[in-house]
């Protein structure tokens, strides 16, 4: 029986040293272990039930392992996207395509609700990612647009880099409540 050390996941906030560490890679046997599968399921459940965002890296729940979950679903704001549910383990961006473009980004580790922080972050719109899936199968795929953006954010987390480290236009910082107002006024 698995000891449920992940029963009550909590978001690790900016300032916690685990967010600045390079997370540990997992071996194939660790990837296939019941403990890792359990952590992935708990992270997915946590992200979906708390409605916190579209990506979650293990360091954001205090676990310094190279695991991230991507859960992109359609919303009223994002009604023209393809849903994506993906676990990436030991991910490595092997190629970036084109120039970076600035897109709005936030992070569930830097505040919650209306007070969460948003800013424009330059990211590549297309990338090639090599990773292991949750079954231990090595994969190489190309991702574009929002999935590519989210993957870059989560891979940064696994390498101890926060989105605020990448912001070039510091005047773009705003709270989530102001971000929503801005999006509504442009709709």
| Residues with catalytic function | 154
Rounded to an integer, what is the distance from CA 32 to the centroid of its chain?
21
**CA–CA–CA angle 157, 150, 173 (5° rounding):** 80
Kindly give the pairing relationship between strand 117-132 and strand 84-106: antiparallel
Tokens 């953006």, residue located: 149
Q: How far does the chain reach from its first CA to its final CA, in angstroms?
A: 51
The C-alpha atoms of residue 122 and residue 100 are separated, in whole angstroms, by 5
Residue 51 Rama label (left phi>0; alpha psi -120 to 50; beta)? left
Q: Find, among 96, 110, 103, the residue nearest to 146 by Cα.
A: 103
Phi and psi angles of residue 175, each rounded to the nearest 5 degrees, phi first: -80, 165
């Amino acid at each position: 029986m698995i000891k449920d050390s992940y029963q009550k996941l909590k978001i690790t906030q900016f300032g916690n040293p685990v967010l600045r560490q390079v997370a540990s890679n997992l071996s194939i046997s660790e990837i296939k272990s019941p403990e890792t599968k359990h952590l992935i399921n708990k992270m997915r459940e946590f992200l979906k039930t708390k409605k916190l965002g579209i990506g979650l890296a293990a360091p954001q729940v205090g676990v310094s392992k190279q695991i991230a979950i991507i859960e992109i679903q359609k919303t009223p704001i994002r009604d023209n996207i393809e849903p994506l549910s993906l676990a990436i383990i030991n991910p490595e961006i092997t190629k970036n395509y084109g120039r970076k473009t600035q897109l709005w980004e936030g992070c569930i580790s830097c505040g919650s609700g209306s007070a969460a922080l948003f800013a424009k972050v330059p990211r590549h719109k297309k990338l090639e990612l090599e990773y292991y899936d949750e079954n231990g199968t090595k994969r190489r795929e190309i991702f574009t647009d929002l999935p590519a953006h989210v993957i870059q954010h989560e891979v940064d987390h696994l390498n101890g880099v926060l989105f605020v480290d990448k912001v070039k236009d510091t005047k773009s910082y705003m709270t989530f409540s102001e971000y929503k107002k801005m999006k509504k006024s442009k709709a």
